Chain A
Amino acid sequence: MTDRIRTLKLTSALVLGTLAMSQQALATEELNALVWCDHTDPALIEPFEKKFDVKVNLKEYEGTGAALAIVEQSQPGDWDVFVIDGVDVPRAIEADLLAPLPADELPTDDLFPALVMPENHTKDGEVYAISEKFGYNTISFNKAKVDPADLNDMSVLWSSDKYKGKIAIYDYYLPVMGMVAVGLGKETSGLTSDDLPAIKETLFKVKDNAKLVGEVVSSQTALATGEVDILVGGGEWVTAGLSADNPDLDWVLPKQGGMRWSQSIGVFKDSGKKELATEFVKYILSPEGQAKLATSSCYWAMPANAKAGSVLSDQQKTALRWDDQEAYIANSQLYPAPDAELDAEMQDAWTEMLQH
């Protein structure tokens, strides 16, 4: 009899425990975010998950074209949060993908002025996205092996073979093709199909001098291990995280300028969890969220919110070149923002360059 009672108690405890866990599981909401890889750092996401008892599902993508296609091929409501290149926000607004954000709850006044970008983020008086992070695609290099003065002129990458075999190219067509365009004296905002032949020809010359074309990890590894001495398309996002271990890794904005990238964050119009998604946006834009995003394990870059400076350490700010941002912003252009047709042509040119 005692055994039966003990068995009954144990069974009841197990059943109740399972039910309690099920309830907890049911209580935990899920938020689906389409992001760049810097948002996948647990140090960034976990504080939000704990605070709101939510599981944030993160889907990484590369390139706005791919992101828009993923959204197009998903069901309405599948996605809640969208991290997108700043120059591409108007495309997302035009496609009616984004919901208006509560402007009075966003720290817009705390952003670096150049990052407010109302022409990109606002339409008909409504704010649809807000900048969260920015940086530069320019030239990273090992100053123990390369004369920094050489890299003040970007054309050394294609007009000379001084660094042949010691160059890596970051495998992302928009910034690198934009960089080459800037190097050829073009405005990235006005690129057309007619500009592509010259850009492609120059890219081929850079490829002739290159040892490899690699994505984020490969290109960082190549520079860090000494496999190459120069990374085309690099910037603080490559070297800032590595500079503590290797102070020789540096980056430069050549006299022609470089690409300034910025990421924006918004909430999908069809999200069924707009309030929670908005809380996520507010968390990412908070000084704490911004500091974590700026020093994310995938890549470092400047936070859009200037108040993150009070959270970042001096070493982190030095690595990010916090005090030089005004000059850098003035000498940089935004990414190209091609329409679908030009985007496809640019990708074809990029694939040809890879196969060259």
Chain B
Amino acid sequence: MKMAGGAQSRRIDLGPWAFVAPALLWTLAFFVVPFLVMVVVSLWERVGTKLVASWTFANYLKFFERGHFFEAMINSLEVTAIVTLLSILLAYPFAWIIAEKVPQRWQRIALVLAILPFWTSYVVRSYSWLLVLANNGVVNQALLGIGLVDEPLDLANSRTATVIGFVHFFVMLLTLTIYANLVQLSPNYRKAAADLGAGPFRIFWHVILPLTLPGIMVGAFLTFVLCIGDYITPQVLGGNNELLMPQVIMLQIGRRADFPTASALAILLMIVVTVAYLGFARWIRLERA
């Protein structure tokens, strides 16, 4: 009986593994192995045009020794923080209007309309923003036309342009996560708060906002991860007036073929993202508790 029972438990144990095996193999092949390769390469050196398989932390030390590398990380963190904050501030009212003010039968259409611009290519959209923000672009022409400015504003090829390009994209993402959170809230919370004498602002501030923090945080984390690792937007819209980490990494690959330094910088960026994840995850868990 004991042996039979043991065989049965083995059969039960193997079943789930069979189901998750494809996902595990996929992760192993396309994340774990490439990541380990990147870690190993980050410890190599590029001498002249050759890659030398060595074990050195020199590529990591470069990050702290060369001001322009470290500055790139600071720039990335600053831009990401600004983009995340602005995206939340814009997405929340947008999601709230769709969830609360748009009739239910129109909500799906409203969401589709919200994400419609994102069916175009990301690169094309970035170049479009460059034209929109140019000296003779729509924005400056409108500002000049209504007399708000006398000379065109320097919007394109700047951090402002990079932030606008990013925010345009991530507002959509945050709208979806916040909307998903809002529609799950029972109307009874609001009714109960109102019965206890709370006005609309107090209901929002003390009841709705705390309950939608998980949606905000999930969207904020996704925004953080996607923004800090993005190369296209700052490259197209920033005009190379400052470099962010993905641009510095690409310079090592595209111009110098210095894969060890690029790998080291990419791993440092991953460490920052991991720290951010730990921060976000802990915060969300605390709020839920």
Within 8 A of A (CB), among B248-266: 248, 251, 254-259
Are A66 and B243 interface neighbours, CB within 8 A? no
Are B257 and A340 interface neighbours, CB within 8 A? no
Are A355 and B243 interface neighbours, CB within 8 A? yes
Given that A69-B257, A212-B241, A355-B72 are known contacts, is A222 also in contact with B157, CB under 8 Å in the complex? yes
Are A65 and B248 interface neighbours, CB within 8 A? no
- Min C-beta distance of A247 to chain B, whole Å: 19
Are B135 and A226 interface neighbours, CB within 8 A? yes
Q: Mark B126-147, 1 if CB is under 8 A from A, else 0.
A: 0000110011100000000000
Q: Mark A328-356, 1 if CB is under 8 A from B, else 0.
A: 00000000000010001001100110110
In the complex, chain A residues whose CB is within 8 Å of the CB of B258 = 69
In the complex, chain A residues whose CB is within 8 Å of the CB of B66 = 348
In the complex, chain A residues whose CB is within 8 Å of the CB of B56 = none
B78 within 8 A of A: no
Partner of B68, one of A62, A68, A214, A351: A351
In the complex, chain A residues whose CB is within 8 Å of the CB of B71 = 355
- Min C-beta distance of B158 to chain A, whole Å: 9
In the complex, chain B residues whose CB is within 8 Å of the CB of A69 = 46, 49, 256-258
Which of A69, A218, A222, A340 has most chain B Cβ within 10 Å?
Answer: A69
A23 within 8 A of B: no
CA distance A225 to B127 in the complex (A): 13
In the complex, chain B residues whose CB is within 8 Å of the CB of A55 = none
Partner of B240, one of A70, A213, A352: A213
B207 within 8 A of A: no
CA distance A263 to B48 in the complex (A): 22
Partner of B243, one of A63, A71, A344, A351: A351
- Min C-beta distance of B250 to chain A, whole Å: 11
Are B49 and A165 interface neighbours, CB within 8 A? no
B229 within 8 A of A: no
B11 within 8 A of A: no
Are A212 and B254 interface neighbours, CB within 8 A? no
The chain B residue with its CB closest to the CB of A225 is: B134
Are A73 and B156 interface neighbours, CB within 8 A? no
Given that A225-B136, A351-B251, A355-B71 are known contacts, is A66 also in contact with B240, CB under 8 Å in the complex? no
CA distance A73 to B242 in the complex (A): 30
Within 8 A of B (CB), among A97-124: none
Q: Mark A198-242, 1 if CB is under 8 A from B, else 0.
A: 000000000000011110001001100111000000000000000
Q: Mark B245-289, 1 if CB is under 8 A from A, else 0.
A: 000100100111111000000000000000000000000000000
Are B51 and A212 interface neighbours, CB within 8 A? no
Are A225 and B131 interface neighbours, CB within 8 A? yes
B10 within 8 A of A: no
Partner of B135, one of A62, A221, A227, A354: A227
Given that A226-B135, A354-B240 are known contacts, is A72 also in contact with B49, CB under 8 Å in the complex? yes
The chain B residue with its CB closest to the CB of A171 is: B240
Are B236 and A66 interface neighbours, CB within 8 A? no
In the complex, chain B residues whose CB is within 8 Å of the CB of A62 = 254-255
Q: Mark A41-80, 1 if CB is under 8 A from B, else 0.
A: 0000000000000000000001101101111110000000
- Min C-beta distance of B128 to chain A, whole Å: 12
Are A226 and B68 interface neighbours, CB within 8 A? no
Q: Mark B117-133, 1 if CB is under 8 A from A, else 0.
A: 00000000000001100
Given that A225-B131, A225-B134, A340-B48 are known contacts, is A73 also in contact with B257, CB under 8 Å in the complex? yes
Are A211 and B257 interface neighbours, CB within 8 A? no
CA distance A90 to B73 in the complex (A): 38
Given that A63-B255, A351-B248 are known contacts, is A212 also in contact with B49, CB under 8 Å in the complex? no
B154 within 8 A of A: yes
CA distance A225 to B248 in the complex (A): 28
Given that A63-B255, A214-B240 are known contacts, is A227 also in contact with B68, CB under 8 Å in the complex? no
Are B243 and A214 interface neighbours, CB within 8 A? no
In the complex, chain B residues whose CB is within 8 Å of the CB of A352 = 67-68
Chain B interface size band reads 20 to 34
- Min C-beta distance of B144 to chain A, whole Å: 14
Within 8 A of A (CB), among B47-69: 48-51, 66-68
- Min C-beta distance of A144 to chain B, whole Å: 14
Which of B72, B240, B243 has most chain A Cβ within 10 Å?
Answer: B240
Given that A68-B49, A69-B49, A227-B135 are known contacts, is A354 also in contact with B255, CB under 8 Å in the complex? no
In the complex, chain A residues whose CB is within 8 Å of the CB of B242 = 354-355
Are B239 and A344 interface neighbours, CB within 8 A? no
- Min C-beta distance of A52 to chain B, whole Å: 30
Partner of B257, one of A65, A173, A355: A65
- Min C-beta distance of A230 to chain B, whole Å: 14
Are B256 and A65 interface neighbours, CB within 8 A? yes
Partner of B255, one of A68, A347, A355: A347
In the complex, chain B residues whose CB is within 8 Å of the CB of A340 = 48-49
In the complex, chain A residues whose CB is within 8 Å of the CB of B256 = 63, 65-66, 69, 344, 347
Which of A226, A344, A355 has most chain B Cβ within 10 Å?
Answer: A355
The chain A residue with its CB closest to the CB of B137 is: A225
Given that A69-B49, A348-B66 are known contacts, is A213 also in contact with B241, CB under 8 Å in the complex? yes
In the complex, chain A residues whose CB is within 8 Å of the CB of B130 = 221
The chain B residue with its CB closest to the CB of A166 is: B135
In the complex, chain A residues whose CB is within 8 Å of the CB of B48 = 340
Are A212 and B239 interface neighbours, CB within 8 A? yes
Are A66 and B257 interface neighbours, CB within 8 A? yes
CA distance A70 to B51 in the complex (A): 11
In the complex, chain B residues whose CB is within 8 Å of the CB of A212 = 157, 239-241
What are 13 A-B residue pairs whose CB atoms fall within 8 Å in the complex?
A: A69-B257, A69-B258, A70-B257, A72-B257, A212-B157, A213-B239, A218-B236, A227-B134, A340-B48, A344-B256, A351-B68, A351-B243, A355-B71
Can you list the 3 inter-chain pairs with the closest CB atoms, starting with the nearest?
Answer: A69-B257, A212-B239, A213-B240
